Chains A and B, each alone.
Chain A
Amino acid sequence: MSCKTYDEIIEAYFERGLDSSERSRLEAHLDACSECRLDFALYDRVFSYLESLEEVEPPADFTSSVMKRIRALELTGRQQCVRPEPWWKGVAWRAATAVAVVVLVLSAIFLGGRGDVELLPVESPVAMVEYDLGSSNEAPVPPAVRNGAIGVVVSGSGVEVLSNGGTQWRLVERRDVLGFGDRIRTNGCEARLLYPDRTWIKLKPHTMVQLLVDGLRLKAGATWVRVVKRGRHFAVHTPNAVASVKGTIFSVEFVPEDERTRVEVFESSVLVESLGRDGLSRGAVLVGEGHGVDVDWSGPGMLQVLDASAYIAWNMVPPAELIRHDAAETAESTAPVSLEAAPVSSGVSAPAETSREEDEGTSEPADEEVTVDYGNIHVGDR
């Protein structure tokens, strides 16, 4: 055995100790080898020194200095996802009310028309929470999705859930199992819902949704939906609209302050059904690719051509002709208000889009029915 090997054995002697046979072998070698004896003595000094190192005392005002800087941060509003206040406190029209009241009011208003889906069986777990581990172009697929449940992937630990029939919002945790009827609100974070058929939905910050058997109920905020599966009905409901679709990419935003739903279609087409306060249809409109529509209690508005900002708001690359159009006529664009330009439902300005993913513009052929139910619309592809 070379002396170099003994370096490792001597090291091990100090690091973890040796068993008796290793030890006697080392001792025998040290008796015979003066160089290793010196090494042994030097290692002894190195280890003694390292083990004698003691903690140094941090400055006495350390914690208070850090907290002072944190308070200053709050004032400059540099925080992203940690919200200084619950998002609903920023809703101007309900500024002074407590969360329970807001939730009740939202339920009363937004579910009034379609109360039939409010109480859903929860026996079958439909969703499982995972944390976002990356920023790849593809939606991450949590294990739950493989088991046929909906995966909920959140961008941070500020997303909350209200169980169906429950009254207390709580922060979602990894491996949380959600059921139909449960509500999710994103607060300052973002979340994605991943369906077994690879349909997936992005929820912007300050969005609240309820999981439905056939889709989603959007209570406030904005969602982007990419539907890929065939032969299945999927809908996004708002209080006054239901958007039902098959194989397409679209977004739905509901603005509680002005009780307006906006549907924008980026690929294929979406059937948007307008609902009155009585829950009965006020007419439907087929919204084609590159178009958007506003829906209020009175019915769907005129179809509008989307501008580039509508795509950019969801991290999509706008069609080339829109970019050219925008560059040439920025000042006098006749395009309708984009998602981002619309008032943010919660009254809190949504943090800048942080998701780095690119949305693939190549969804599979549309021959499957999905609906999205929002309060005043039923968005469906029929």
Chain B
Amino acid sequence: MENEDYRIIKLCLRGKKEEFAKLVDKYHRKVYNLAYRLVGDPEKAKDIAQEAFIKVYKALASYDPRYKFSSWLLKTVSNLCIDYHRTKPASTASLEAVLASGGEASLLGGRRRSVAYEHVEERLELKELQSYIEEGIKLLRPEYRMVLVLRHIENLSYKEIAEMMNLPIGTIKARLFRARRMLKEYLKSRLGDLE
């Protein structure tokens, strides 16, 4: 409960710093999972997740009880992940760029094939399909990946995501829509390759 979180925060502020372990315990799965899905590397995810807790702890006195503690925490994680992506040289083009520049044509060495819409069902069962989605997610820009993770793994509502990311609900909906459409288009281009 959020009130419980605030109660713990107040205890921490009164000098009972060990109480903070309760908040770490309560939220570390969420925090670690968000970091993991955003950076895709367990070791880096652990670093970022721990850093987020430390950051929040250091700023505990500035906690504003009007907002959920969990939102503040997840927001901190997402900021750290964005910083991480900024410092990391982009090894791959974003999915957006790939699709914009001709989809599979650029991905697949210039071959552009059309998908035969009939008889695709059996191909949709292919195991590769799952790995293609995973590939596509990795190619998504962090802001798109973040909304997918928050929506589908953390099961947050649009409103919660909007509050967390400090963006209008409309923007969140639009990003989710675009993220999933890009994944769908990516799958389509990969299926074209299988043709």
Q: Which residue of chain A lies nearest to B136 when distances are taken between CB atoms in the complex?
A: A46
Question: Does A325 sit within 8 A of B, measured CB to CB?
Answer: no
Q: Do most interface residues of chain B lie in helix, strand or loop, or is the interface mixed?
A: helix
Question: Does B108 sit within 8 A of A, measured CB to CB?
Answer: no
Known A11-B181, A38-B115, A42-B187: A82·B129 in contact at CB below 8 Å: no
Question: Does A332 sit within 8 A of B, measured CB to CB?
Answer: no
Interface residues on A, range: 35 or more
Contact residues, A144-164 vs B (CB, 8 A): 155-158
Contacts of B57 in A (CB 8 A): 70, 73, 82
Neighbour of A81 across the interface among B61, B130, B153, CB < 8 A:
B61
The reply to whether A67 and B187 contact each other, CB–CB distance below 8 Å, is no
The reply to whether A42 and B124 contact each other, CB–CB distance below 8 Å, is yes
Question: Does B85 sit within 8 A of A, measured CB to CB?
Answer: no
Q: Which residue of chain B lies nearest to A189 when distances are taken between CB atoms in the complex?
A: B61
CA distance A79 to B57 in the complex (A): 9
Neighbour of A82 across the interface among B24, B50, B60, CB < 8 A:
B60
Question: Does A330 sit within 8 A of B, measured CB to CB?
Answer: no
Question: Does A66 sit within 8 A of B, measured CB to CB?
Answer: yes
CA distance A62 to B187 in the complex (A): 36
Known A62-B46, A86-B14, A171-B13: A41·B58 in contact at CB below 8 Å: no
The reply to whether A7 and B181 contact each other, CB–CB distance below 8 Å, is yes
CA distance A70 to B121 in the complex (A): 54
The reply to whether A41 and B10 contact each other, CB–CB distance below 8 Å, is no
The reply to whether A156 and B62 contact each other, CB–CB distance below 8 Å, is yes
Binds B, one of A51-59, A101-109, A244-252, A286-294: A51-59
User: How many chain B residues have a CB neighbour from A under 8 Å?
Assistant: 56
Contacts of B17 in A (CB 8 A): 70-71, 74, 82, 84
Q: Which residue of chain A lies nearest to B124 when distances are taken between CB atoms in the complex?
A: A41
The reply to whether A45 and B36 contact each other, CB–CB distance below 8 Å, is no
Known A50-B152, A83-B13: A157·B60 in contact at CB below 8 Å: yes
Contact residues, A195-250 vs B (CB, 8 A): none
CA distance A74 to B16 in the complex (A): 12
Known A42-B124, A80-B58: A63·B24 in contact at CB below 8 Å: yes
The reply to whether A34 and B117 contact each other, CB–CB distance below 8 Å, is yes
Question: Does A39 sit within 8 A of B, measured CB to CB?
Answer: yes
CB of A307 to closest CB in B, whole Å: 32
Known A42-B124, A66-B50, A82-B57: A8·B177 in contact at CB below 8 Å: yes
Question: Does B65 sit within 8 A of A, measured CB to CB?
Answer: yes
Task: Give A residues with C-beta under 8 Å from B.
Answer: 7-8, 11, 15, 34-35, 37-39, 41-43, 45-47, 49-51, 53-56, 58-59, 62-63, 65-67, 69-71, 73-74, 78-86, 131, 155-158, 171, 173-174, 188-189
Task: Give B residues with C-beta under 8 Å from A.
Answer: 9-10, 12-15, 17-18, 20-21, 24-25, 28-29, 32-33, 36-37, 42, 46, 49-50, 53-54, 57-66, 115, 117-118, 120-121, 124, 129-130, 133, 148, 151-153, 176-177, 180-181, 183-184, 187-188, 191
> 4 new A-B pairs (CB below 8 Å) besides A35-B117, A62-B32, A62-B50?
A38-B117, A41-B124, A53-B37, A58-B46
* 5 cross-chain CB contacts under 8 A: A53-B153, A59-B46, A63-B21, A69-B50, A79-B58
